[in-house]
Amino acid sequence: MSTPPPGKLGLPELAAMKSRGEKIVMVTAYDAPGARFAEDAGIDILLVGDTAAMVVLGHESTTVPVTVEEMLFLTRTVARAARRPVIVGDLPFGSYQVSDEEAVSTAIRFVKEGGADVVKLEGAGTSVSRARAIVQAGIPVMGHIGLTPQSATMLGGFKTQGKTAERALELVNQALELQQAGCFSLVLEAVPSAVASRVTELLEIPTFGIGAGAGCDGQVLVYHDLLGLTEGHLPRFVKRYANLSGEIKGALAAYAEEVRSGVFPDDEHSYSMDESERAEFEAALESRSPVNE
Ligand code: KIV
């Protein structure tokens, strides 16, 4: 791919952060205000995640239904709004599983039409080959193993992965295969901290944990979860840093109450006109011929 625009955080810098032991911060983003807030807060990477299916598109507890067109729309929006953070386009379910060619075509769309800097795909197995093909096409890839929501049914639901020695070793092997395929980084979701730490030590590329403990090179959380915009059950790994849904509902209820009681809009939030113009307007209204005669 071409040289990153001025001011954009480069992928070599992410690798350098890992070697310096500096934590890398990633958060999901789905719209322009969210992207700007995250950039202003100094976030390094914005993941336009397929969690969009649930947190912004209203699908129940699954990322599967979101389409390429929907993800491209959201990715474009985020990419337009942010300058420094690396923009990750998340390839949705069904857009890369069939063949390496399909994976490369989808990844190209995310870069050309979505403005993504890099793409993310889930799983190992055939995904290793997909990752390799995309990297060979010149597009950097972030892998994602452990709990991979697109294949949650195969994994027996939204459950912690790698809890036995055998499954933990499988994760290590998957991580090494994805690194070997050319991935520049890896998300580890819902795996025991001890396993994630060992994977992180064994890899040269940065790891991002979500429910994978403090030993990872960076962390990622879903924007709506950390800000308290999601309601209902949340995974154990989510830490809420605000309760914005409470704030938003309070503000909307206050607005509704003020409209209904006539308190809003008051003079401060309305436009006035010159008294003389107003008098002329009223006189003209009085003397105008009725419309229906
Ligand atoms: O889609 C997403 O938001 C993700 C994160 C949870 C890592 O994949």
> Taking the CA of residue 98 as centre, how many other CA atoms within 13 Å lie in the half-sphere pointing to its CB?
8
CA 150/CA 97 separation, integer angstroms? 11
The yes-or-no answer on residue 231 being catalytic is no
**Of 189, 204, 258, 277, which residue is the catalytic one?**
189
The CA-based angle 132-148-108, given to 5 degrees, is: 40
Q: What is the pLDDT of residues 131-178, one digit of tens each?
A: 999 999 999 999 999 999 898 888 877 889 999 999 999 999 999 999
Instruction: Using DSSP bridges, classify how beta strands 118-120 and 141-146 pair: parallel, antiparallel or unpaired.
Output: parallel
For the chain, which residues make up each domain, given as ranges?
Answer: 11-246
The CA 232 to ligand 1 mean position distance, Å, reads 18
Which residue's CA is the closest to the ligand 1 atom numbered 8? 49
Evaluate: CB of 207 within 6 angstroms of ligand 1: no
CATH topology of domain 11-246: TIM Barrel (3.20.20)
Q: What is the pLDDT of residues 25-62, one digit of tens each?
A: 999 999 999 999 999 999 999 999 999 999 999 998 77
**pTM for this predicted structure:** 0.94
